[in-house]
């Protein structure tokens, strides 16, 4: 294993943050896999999972069983990790800009289109190699003006030429679920099985340019741009893995999750080991545009009827909102059938606040599909 340090742009005199990446195996041989944890810095389960995955990768490397390159960034966001206010850790938005750490990653497809036009051929693998090298060049040419931009560029530069990118997050209260690109579902299905995902939410344009989409989207956008002329494969399986609830951080769970990721890497052929039996798929993938965010119609105390992982039918009672001053109590029901995959952890709702999310099978939303 090789360790590399990446110095972020210094935002202020006397301050500089550093990102650390761990490199296993050999670059340029076999597939490249990239894993990072806690881009939303207060979402900690992934850090512990990568802590447990590391000795497994070291053992595989020592035994000569790595057939590719694996890059691990166990702490993807040192900026957010240091942000606390009045005792609360706040790692989702950068204090300096108010921006979400998992939004606004660069859209490389238009830049790469200009660079590769006239150079593509009929060999899909050769096109993949050409596009990967263009990705590296385009990212190297982008200049960061702020610390946050330099964090985004550093992470993208480590990840964007990989065959597999796994971005480990968690939700407030949730069962394990995945977000990925619609064209990637066939490649993602084994990951959904090995990780035991209760939902996989698919989109080609979720809005806001999150990290996984910035890595995966380049490929299907270029495929569309050169459609009918040159073959371009969806060569980067980029997935956001939501590792359940933010407070589910235990050795037992993390060790099991590390084992599940290891099983997927073996299945993928990056590690030479006995391929573990493929578990059943818990739920088919559903469109992100079919996910219903169930909101509180007025402010009040919330009492839930349903838990993460529950299947709900259309019309099922999800929670009550109680206004103790107005003596008002209303039951809020799901408009959609599907798995309730996430819910709010607070029990006081402001008007219009989302309290639960249900993975419906029929797309009904347009525009920005991600919550802030
Ligand atoms: Zn997150």
Q: For residue 75, give the nearest of 24, 139, 16, 5 by alpha carbon.
A: 5
Ligand 1 midpoint to CA 13 (Å): 30
Q: Average pLDDT across each block of 10 residues of the chain; the chain has 372 residues. List them in order.
A: 98 97 95 98 98 98 98 98 97 98 97 96 98 98 97 98 98 98 98 98 95 98 98 98 98 98 98 96 98 97 98 98 95 98 98 97 91 77
Among the three residues 223, 254, 284, which one is the final residue of a domain in this structure? 284
Is residue 224, in this structure, part of any structural domain at all?
Answer: yes
Ligand 1 midpoint to CA 115 (Å): 33
Ligand 1 midpoint to CA 59 (Å): 30
292 and 274 fall within a common domain: no
221 and 304 fall within a common domain: no
Ligand 1 midpoint to CA 240 (Å): 8
* β-strand pairing of 311-312 with 354-360: unpaired
Ligand 1 midpoint to CA 287 (Å): 19
Domain residues for 169? Answer: 2-284
Ligand 1 midpoint to CA 120 (Å): 36
259 and 299 fall within a common domain: no
Contact 338, 360 (CB under 8 A): yes
Strand partners, 312: 338
28 and 160 fall within a common domain: yes
* β-strand pairing of 199-203 with 286-287: parallel
Ligand 1 midpoint to CA 37 (Å): 9
Ligand 1 midpoint to CA 171 (Å): 7
Ligand 1 midpoint to CA 182 (Å): 20
Ligand 1 midpoint to CA 25 (Å): 28
276 and 310 fall within a common domain: no
186 and 317 fall within a common domain: no
pLDDT at residue 143, as a whole number: 96
The 3-state secondary structure of 290-320, one letter per residue: HEEEEECCCCEEEEECCCCCCEECCCCEEEE
Contact 322, 303 (CB under 8 A): yes
Ligand 1 midpoint to CA 83 (Å): 15
* β-strand pairing of 348-349 with 354-360: unpaired
**CATH at 33:** 3.40.630.10
Q: Distance of CA 296 to CAs 306, 340, 365, Å?
A: 15, 16, 19
Ligand 1 midpoint to CA 330 (Å): 30
pLDDT at residue 82, as a whole number: 97
pLDDT at residue 367, as a whole number: 87
DSSP-derived secondary structure letter, 204: S
270 and 124 fall within a common domain: yes
Q: Distance of CA 251 to CAs 55, 73, 258, Å?
A: 14, 19, 10
Ligand 1 midpoint to CA 220 (Å): 24
Q: Distance of CA 118 to CAs 107, 112, 226, 230, Å?
A: 21, 12, 11, 11
**CATH at 343:** 2.40.50.100
Ligand 1 midpoint to CA 369 (Å): 15
Q: Which residues of 320-331 are buried (b: 16+ CB within 10 A; e: fewer)?
A: bbbeeeeeeeee
Residues, CB within 5 angstroms of ligand 1 (ion): 40, 43, 169
Ligand 1 midpoint to CA 168 (Å): 8
The 3-state secondary structure of 124-167, one letter per residue: HHHHHHHHHHHHHHHHHHCCCCCHHHHHHHHHHHHHCCCCEEEE
Alpha helices in the chain (DSSP H): 45-62, 78-81, 109-116, 124-141, 147-159, 185-195, 211-225, 251-268
Is residue 365, in this structure, part of any structural domain at all?
Answer: no
Ligand 1 midpoint to CA 91 (Å): 9
84 and 225 fall within a common domain: yes
Ligand 1 midpoint to CA 242 (Å): 7
- Specify the number of domains making up the chain: 2
Is residue 366, in this structure, part of any structural domain at all?
Answer: no
Phi/psi at 67 (5° precision): -105, 5
pLDDT at residue 156, as a whole number: 98
Ligand 1 midpoint to CA 126 (Å): 35
253 and 323 fall within a common domain: no
Is residue 6, in this structure, part of any structural domain at all?
Answer: yes
Among the three residues 251, 267, 284, which one is the final residue of a domain in this structure? 284
Is residue 370, in this structure, part of any structural domain at all?
Answer: no
């Amino acid at each position: 294993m090789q360790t590399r340090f990446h110095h972020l742009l210094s935002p202020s005199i006397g301050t500089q943050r550093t990102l650390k990446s761990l490199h296993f195996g050999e670059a340029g041989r076999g597939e490249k896999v990239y894993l990072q944890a806690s881009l939303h810095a207060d979402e900690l389960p992934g850090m512990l999972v990568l802590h447990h995955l590391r000795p497994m990768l070291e053992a595989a490397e020592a035994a000569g069983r790595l057939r590719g390159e694996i890059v691990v960034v166990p702490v993807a966001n040192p900026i957010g990790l240091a942000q606390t206010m009045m005792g609360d850790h706040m790692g989702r938005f950068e204090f300096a800009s108010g921006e979400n750490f998992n939004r606004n990653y660069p859209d490389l497809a238009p830049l790469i289109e200009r660079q590769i036009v006239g150079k593509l051929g009929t060999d899909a693998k050769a096109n993949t190699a050409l596009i990967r090298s263009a990705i590296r060049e385009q990212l190297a040419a982008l200049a960061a003006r702020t610390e946050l931009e330099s964090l985004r560029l550093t992470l993208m530069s480590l990840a964007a030429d990989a065959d597999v990118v796994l971005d480990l997050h968690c939700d407030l209260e949730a069962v394990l679920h995945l977000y990925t690109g619609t064209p990637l579902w066939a490649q993602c299905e084994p990951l959904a099985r090995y990780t035991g995902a209760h939902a996989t939410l698919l989109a080609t344009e979720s809005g806001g340019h999150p990290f996984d989409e910035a890595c995966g989207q380049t490929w299907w956008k270029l495929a569309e741009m050169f459609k009918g002329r040159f073959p371009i494969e969806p060569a980067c399986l980029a997935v956001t893995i939501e590792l359940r609830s933010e407070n589910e951080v235990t050795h037992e769970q993390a060790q099991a999750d590390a084992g599940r990721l290891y099983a997927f890497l073996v299945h993928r052929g990056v590690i030479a080991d006995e391929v573990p039996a493929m578990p059943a798929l818990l739920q088919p993938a559903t469109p992100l545009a079919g996910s219903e965010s169930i909101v509180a119609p007025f402010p009040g105390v919330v009492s839930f009827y349903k838990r993460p992982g529950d299947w709900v039918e259309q019309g099922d009672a999800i929670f009550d909102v109680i206004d103790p001053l107005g003596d008002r109590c209303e039951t809020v029901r799901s408009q959609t059938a599907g798995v309730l995959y996430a819910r709010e952890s607070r029990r006081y709702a402001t008007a219009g606040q989302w309290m639960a999310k249900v993975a419906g099978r029929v797309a009904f939303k347009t525009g920005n599909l991600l919550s802030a």
